[in-house]
Amino acid sequence: MVAGADRIRRIVAIIRVLEIRAVGECLRRCRPQGANEIMLKNNLAFGKAIPVLVSLDIARTLQFFNEVPGFKTQHIEDFSYGMAARGAVEIHFWLCNEKHIAENASCYVRVDDIHSLHAELKPKLPALASVTETAWGMAEFYVIDPDGNLIKFGQSIDDRPVSSDS
For residue 89, give the amino acid letter. V
pLDDT at 158 over 80: yes
pLDDT at 85: 97
pLDDT at 10 over 80: no
The residue that leads in pLDDT, 2 or 118, is 118
In percent, the amount of the chain with pLDDT more than 70 equals: 69
Beta bridge pairs of residue 84: 73, 91
Maximum CA extent, the chain: 75
Closest CA to 86 of 21, 19, 151: 151
pLDDT at 46: 82
9-13, 59-63, 67-71, 72-76: the lowest-pLDDT one = 9-13
Backbone angles phi, psi at 13, to 5 degrees: -60, -40
Mean pLDDT computed over 92-104: 94
Domain positions in the chain: 2-41, 52-159
39-43, 51-55, 115-119: the lowest-pLDDT one = 39-43
For residue 153, give the amino acid letter. F
pLDDT at 55 over 80: yes
Is the domain covering 52-159 a CATH 3.10.180.10 domain?
yes
Mean pLDDT computed over 8-26: 59
pLDDT at 163 over 60: no
pLDDT at 148: 96
Q: What average pLDDT is seen over the chain? A: 84
pLDDT at 166: 43
81's CB contacts (< 8 A; 6+ apart) are 58, 75, 92, 93, 94, 95
For residue 61, give the amino acid letter. T
pLDDT at 5: 65
d(CA 151, CA 147): 11
Q: Pairing state of beta strands 138-144 and 132-133?
A: antiparallel
